[in-house]
Amino acid sequence: MSAQTTAVPWRRAGERSYALRLEGFAVNAGLVIGDGRAAVIDSGAGPAEAAELYAAVRTLTDLPLVLINTHAHGDHFFGNAYFRAQGVVDIWGHAVAATSIACHGAAQRDLVLEVDPAMAAARGPHTEILAPNRTVGTDSVELDLGGWSITLFHLGPAHTEGDLLIASGDVLFAGDLVEEGAKPQFGGSFPDSWNEALGRLMALGGSHPVVVPGHGEFVDLDFVRDQREELRTAIKLCRVALEDRSTDPARVIPSLPYAPAQSRHLLRRVRDTTGPQGE
């Protein structure tokens, strides 16, 4: 985790669609610009990062804004209160994520201690926890930005129980359902369902050839396919280890394609969650 909060310039992902990497956790904040309003995707790790993101947004557009949270991890939603203070009324998220943020968001404050000490300590302006007030459930939601629409949808529990994806023309903002530059994080995840969600994402075919992950560089469906195959293999190894009652399941950790901490989380979540095993 870095204590830096300087954003790099916007990267164009596709028509009307941009992403900007926030240095604290390398989160890809997104921006989609319509003719009547613009959508900001994720708000950063606290008011300091959110202020920087908001200033960057205003270099590209002065339109009214809506805000979208991809999921309920603090590096993606701790900047919500700052955006509300700038006049943003509608904050969208999955219904499960909205509940999680409202009920448990404050428990994540230590996550941002190095990046935004004020947010971590709940001291200072715009450090309150603010959950989405507009929610997506089973059905997708289309937001008309004026001359351009985006679609908010859920592919099932995966990285979290309430992951939200945003389709904008050829571009898909995937949140932490897809990770580049670092391996997926499994604490609180649903591995089997994640595998299925990636399969559903791939089934979208060529509709969205550019995938903006929650962190890292833009990727394509070949990358998603590789990430899914790696996850499927790791789940199978975990399941074999868990089914062998004669030895400690943790023996499988060195065989998994992830760091030890991530592997332990994956093993625990395979044990603790149920769902379709996938193909």
What mean pLDDT value characterizes the chain? 94
**Residue 250 vs residues 113, 160, 190, 207, 264: alpha-carbon distances, Å:** 31, 23, 19, 40, 7
pLDDT in tens, 55-91: 999 999 999 999 999 999 999 999 999 999 999 999 9
Whole-prediction pTM:
0.93
Averaged pLDDT, 24-45: 98
Chain centroid offset of residue 22 CA:
13
Of 4 and 178, the structure prediction assigns the larger pLDDT to 178
| CA 33 – CA 222 distance, rounded (Å) | 27
In the chain the domains, ranked by start, together with CATH numbers, are 11-221 (3.60.15.10)
The DSSP code sequence of 5-72 is -PPPPPEEEETTEEEEEETTTTEEEEEEE-SS-EEEE---SSHHHHHHHHHHHTTT--S-EEEE-SSS
Mean pLDDT score, 227-255: 96
pLDDT tens-digit series, residues 9-22: 899 999 999 999 99
Mean pLDDT of 196-222: 94
Helix orientation angle between 221-243 and 191-203, rounded to the nearest 10 degrees: 150
pLDDT tens digits along 228-241: 999 999 999 999 99
pLDDT of amino acid 277: 42
Token couple for 237: 């190894």
